[in-house]
Structure 1
Amino acid sequence: MTSRIILITGANSGVGLAATKVIVGASEKYHVIMAGRSREKLQSAMSEVQQGNTRGTVSILLLDVTDEKSIDEAAKQVQEQHGRVDVLVNNAALGNVEPNVKSRFTSSLITNVVGPAMVAEAFRPLLLTSESPYSIFVSSGMGSLTMAAEPGAITYMPNENAYRACKAALNMIAIKEWQDFKSKGLKVFAFCPGFVVSNLRGTSEEARTGGGQAGDPAVSGQSLLDIIEGKRDAEDGKFVHKDGVYPW
């Protein structure tokens, strides 16, 4: 059986790790490349995946989304080892809420906007080699301009404007990629995983779990699997979540 090659950035924790577990637990046809900055953390995460209900296979890939050289080297390595990518999940992100405006916006934009844009560009030739390519940008409902402008819109965290702005920008990247490459068969989704347990808000238990309010990231992983398996193809080019579609 020919494997489907799925590359997930930020795969050592949170939604990325949960999605890896769900995907490789679903079928032996899936091979997930777990990408991230730390070899030690990736190896630990891969071991955790392999100790679970695993039918597919996994490997790790060093990739720093803020480093153009790292991205290019990672793409070259995947080209040499696999020759293509069937699904790219741009998941790596930073939830910076520090008080200083310049620092908050600069670090957030580099990781949450520039990084995914560089990754998408570097791996697109490998995606377009696939018979059924998918490009998924992990966004957030907080990036919806329409919902943010509604009366009574919720503020989720202090100094959240940088994160919101980044996800709105990421949504535009997704829209433009879909418009530019849909004729080549590339399906593109912006995807909101929902409010789930993640290191995005910090590594303390209080931050990770959102004060005990955050949901199970495995639910987000299942939603990503649904996209990968073509169950959301009717919503290609849209901003989706597990229960439907958000307005841009």
Structure 2
Amino acid sequence: MRKVVLVTGASSGVGLALCKRLLEEDDELHVCLACRNVGKAEAVRGALLASNPASEVSIVQVDVCSLQSVLQAAGELKQRFQRLDYVYLNAGIMPNPQLNIKALFSGLFSS
């Protein structure tokens, strides 16, 4: 079974460079690109698969600035993969003092 890697902000910059490096090191990974812009993510996915045809690359749409978007993506990921082996939180986020981070993570990662 392939290890599943989630990378936020994967469509450009450090996130994209990380995805390229991960697939160069291990083409048995399933890399999931967590991005706001699905069109841009599709282009990145195509380029990654062109240079790493044995790999699996998928996309989940998420805007880390929107709690609703994060929760929706978490549900989708849980349904699709049942587990994440590695998570690289690369996308920028502005802290919200009204958000209970403990409760959020407890809800995201509970069974």
Q: How high is the TM-score relative to the length of structure 1?
A: 0.39
Q: Does 1:22 align with 2:15?
A: no
TM superposition shift of 1:121: 2.0
What is the aligned partner in structure 2 of residue 45 from structure 1? 44
Q: Does 1:82 align with 2:66?
A: no
2:51 aligned counterpart, secondary structure: coil
TM superposition shift of 1:9: 0.5
Closer/same/farther in 2, CA of residues 49 and 90 from structure 1, 3 Å limit: same
Check the 8 A contact 1:25/1:56 in 2, yes or no.
no
- Who wins on radius of gyration, i.e. which is larger? 1
Q: How high is the TM-score relative to the length of structure 2?
A: 0.82
Distance 1:38 1:17 in 2: 13
1:3 aligned counterpart, secondary structure: coil
Closer/same/farther in 2, CA of residues 47 and 122 from structure 1, 3 Å limit: farther
Matches within 5 A, 1:224-243: none
Distance 2:109 2:52 in 1: 32
What is the aligned partner in structure 2 of residue 125 from structure 1? 109
Equivalenced residue count is 106
Distance 2:105 2:22 in 1: 24
Amino acid paired to 1:90: L
What is the aligned partner in structure 2 of residue 60 from structure 1? 59
Closer/same/farther in 2, CA of residues 113 and 90 from structure 1, 3 Å limit: farther
The percent identity for this pair of structures is 27
